[in-house]
Amino acid sequence: MGKLLYSSAAMEIGFDDRALAHLQLVIGAKLRRGEKFFFSWQDNIAVGSGRSSIWLEPSIPLYFKFSGSKQVAINREWIEALSASANSSTGLTFLPEPGATQNPTPLPHSRV
């Protein structure tokens, strides 16, 4: 399970490495263009369910920590779906991988 560490507030948001790699590409592309946006996800039941959002902008430090050492194969369809979401008025919403029929990506969890 990889982690997206947000700002200096020691907030950790857990995603599996495959999901985190795809999020890194989409978030990185938007931040390189100087864009500011919300990133939202459904919380795992282990942290009380619900939905969480964070505000992302180039000045906020992000750290992508992967649990494994191997790079994952990128699913272009997933990148396109996440990018379309990121470019909407509501901002980036974590979406499950399209076409994933076995071992679906677990919902992320967050901890402050």
- Residue 107 pLDDT grade (very low, low, confident, very high; cuts 50, 70, 90): low
pTM more than 0.75: yes
Give residue-wise pLDDT tens across range 36-51.
999 999 888 877 778 8
* Contacts (Cβ under 8 Å, ≥6 apart) of 8: 61
Q: For the chain, how far is it from start to end, CA to CA, in angstroms?
A: 17
Give residue-wise pLDDT tens across range 56-103.
999 999 999 999 999 999 999 999 999 999 999 999 999 999 987 555
Q: H or E stretch including 51?
A: strand 51-56
Q: According to the model, what pLDDT value does residue 100 have?
A: 73
Q: Is the pLDDT of residue 12 over 80?
A: yes
Q: Tell me the C-alpha distance between 30 and 50, whole Å.
A: 26
